[in-house]
Structure 1
């Protein structure tokens, strides 16, 4: 999949899904579906999102994301998207009126044949344009527009904010229902203090994007994809490691019944079950005993 960080050298013409798509949840998938279903092989199946996130641009504060750029790209590529365009959300873009956005961005630069958006999509200066306005403006210049209705789960719409709340509550069942998949953390294994190795439970210390939204701190049953192996069972701890006077939040994974070197490798961690909150133990012996209990609980959960 091609990733473009500007409007130069795009693969055109395009069928595009347009939005922020943080999380790529079930609601987002409904927006992307018309693009994936587009049958003209000469048209590139494209997702157009904004960089930085509009809320980050207006507030000046870094936004914690369910799917940072690299993770979003991996998910979209698996879906069958051919091109991800990170539309620079800057002063020039913000000033465009709805008609200017359609003419200059969608028509001239992206050469769109199809545009798909969610029912609540807004665009143009002061968010003046609604999804229905997009239908009228694009129809006038021969671009088809599809509006995906809001996706409902239970009594409420599926949204990134609901997913964040579920993750902070460690409600992984609800998280999975809203996403349509397990929540994941993607990162690279770096050197740690090797305390786990010294007590018989070697861990992979994961360097994850600074903007990645982390769930409630604690211990989880996880499955892990390495570059060469898939769905390895393990136990993950997210927290500050109070027993050893840790300060910074870390993500550490112990793979069950596995040996090898993971330094420098990229891992994808899938969260399956929350086991317990992080706690401080009186000494390493008590910590070791609890880690053994966590591993035993994970084996029961995964039936291994």
Structure 2
């Protein structure tokens, strides 16, 4: 997959394009992406067009929390079959672009678009004046075709990134994973921790997510860790580690079952499958060790129950 990041000058031919924010890559997004990929066998270039900076963050001092960082999104998309991912800079100039200009200058001139795949409620351009009807208005003039897909739903509610963010903040991991169509993941480079886990017989890997990454409530989770192309079950703690001298940042610490390789400096993905308990502060390391053993037993029982 080719990744065009932060550039406004590019040129492709004979493209089938889907457009959106794509935060979360949830089941609704997957429907659009799969539709685009299905046209590759007809010789089209499969393009996914998004913006570098979340539009909700352009003029806000508060950093917008995302379900997946650009790095996480890129890693997932590399595995799905998209040919080109364009992360277009969302500048003041971009924000002021009229929808008709967006169609002509980007979709037609830069991408030679033949098929546009979007959700039925897709909006674009200055003041969000562009919509599916406007795209369809220019079909004959510019020689492309518009495919407008229905929204995906979960429990009779429309699946959206905002709905997933709300569920994640509330700790409703089952709904989060159902709407995503896959387990919520945290990707990053393994860094050095305090090494206390190794002295307690439970060596752990540590990730420090960026502040822009939205996380579920602090606590212990049944997890599955992707290491290269392999997966290992584990138990993950998200939080400040209050028992061992509270950290000033939220960490993601995972004990990987039946795994003893050195992962420092490696990139791993931690999938969260099930919530076990809140993060607790224990009086002694012995109490913490005992509780960790109970967590390990609980998580192993959980994975055994869903695999049978």
Structure-1-length-normalised TM-score = 0.95
Question: Is 168-177 or 94-103 further displaced after alignment?
Answer: 168-177
2:111 equivalent to 1:124 = no
Cα deviation 1:158-188 (Å, max 9, x = unaligned): 0112212222233222112111111111111
Query: Mapping of 1:201-280 within 5 angstroms?
Result: 201-227=202-228, 230-246=230-246, 247-280=248-281
Query: Mapping of 1:127-146 within 5 angstroms?
Result: 127-146=128-147
Distance in structure 2 (CA, Å) of the matches to 1:128 and 1:9? 25
Cα offset for 1:60? 4.0
User: Does structure 2 retain, via aligned residues, the 8 Å contact 1:7–1:109?
Assistant: no
2:275 equivalent to 1:290 = no
Distance in structure 2 (CA, Å) of the matches to 1:167 and 1:285? 32
Cα offset for 1:257? 2.3
User: Does structure 2 retain, via aligned residues, the 8 Å contact 1:2–1:84?
Assistant: yes
Distance in structure 2 (CA, Å) of the matches to 1:40 and 1:173? 35
2:69 equivalent to 1:57 = no
Distance in structure 1 (CA, Å) of the matches to 2:253 and 2:211? 16
Q: Look up the SS of the partner of 2:243 in the other structure.
A: helix
Query: Mapping of 1:62-81 within 5 angstroms?
Result: 62-81=63-82
Distance in structure 1 (CA, Å) of the matches to 2:302 and 2:100? 54
User: Does structure 2 retain, via aligned residues, the 8 Å contact 1:55–1:63?
Assistant: yes
Gaps of 5+ in 2: none
Cα offset for 1:41? 5.0
Match of 2:34 in 1: 33
Gaps of 5+ in 1: none
Distance in structure 1 (CA, Å) of the matches to 2:11 and 2:72? 21
Number of residues of Structure 1 aligned to a counterpart in Structure 2: 303
Distance in structure 2 (CA, Å) of the matches to 1:39 and 1:89? 28
User: Does structure 2 retain, via aligned residues, the 8 Å contact 1:31–1:147?
Assistant: no
Q: Look up the SS of the partner of 1:190 in the other structure.
A: coil
Cα deviation 1:206-239 (Å, max 9, x = unaligned): 1333322111110001111112x52201000000
Deviation above 6 Å: which 4+ runs of structure 1?
Answer: none
Distance in structure 1 (CA, Å) of the matches to 2:54 and 2:14? 25
Distance in structure 2 (CA, Å) of the matches to 1:156 and 1:224? 30
Q: Look up the SS of the partner of 2:151 in the other structure.
A: coil
User: Does structure 2 retain, via aligned residues, the 8 Å contact 1:222–1:273?
Assistant: yes
Distance in structure 2 (CA, Å) of the matches to 1:182 and 1:271? 6
Cα deviation 1:231-277 (Å, max 9, x = unaligned): 20100000011112212211101011221201011101111111000
Distance in structure 1 (CA, Å) of the matches to 2:8 and 2:31? 25
User: Does structure 2 retain, via aligned residues, the 8 Å contact 1:34–1:146?
Assistant: no
Coordinate RMSD, CA, aligned: 1.6
User: Does structure 2 retain, via aligned residues, the 8 Å contact 1:4–1:10?
Assistant: no
Match of 1:8 in 2: 9
User: Does structure 2 retain, via aligned residues, the 8 Å contact 1:23–1:179?
Assistant: yes
Cα offset for 1:42? 3.9
User: Does structure 2 retain, via aligned residues, the 8 Å contact 1:45–1:83?
Assistant: yes
Q: Look up the SS of the partner of 1:129 in the other structure.
A: coil
Structure-2-length-normalised TM-score = 0.93
Distance in structure 2 (CA, Å) of the matches to 1:60 and 1:38? 41
Q: Look up the SS of the partner of 2:230 in the other structure.
A: coil
Distance in structure 1 (CA, Å) of the matches to 2:132 and 2:87? 20
Distance in structure 2 (CA, Å) of the matches to 1:148 and 1:60? 34
Distance in structure 2 (CA, Å) of the matches to 1:60 and 1:84? 28
User: Does structure 1 retain, via aligned residues, the 8 Å contact 2:187–2:270?
Assistant: yes
Cα offset for 1:119? 1.6
Distance in structure 1 (CA, Å) of the matches to 2:59 and 2:132? 22
Distance in structure 1 (CA, Å) of the matches to 2:92 and 2:80? 32
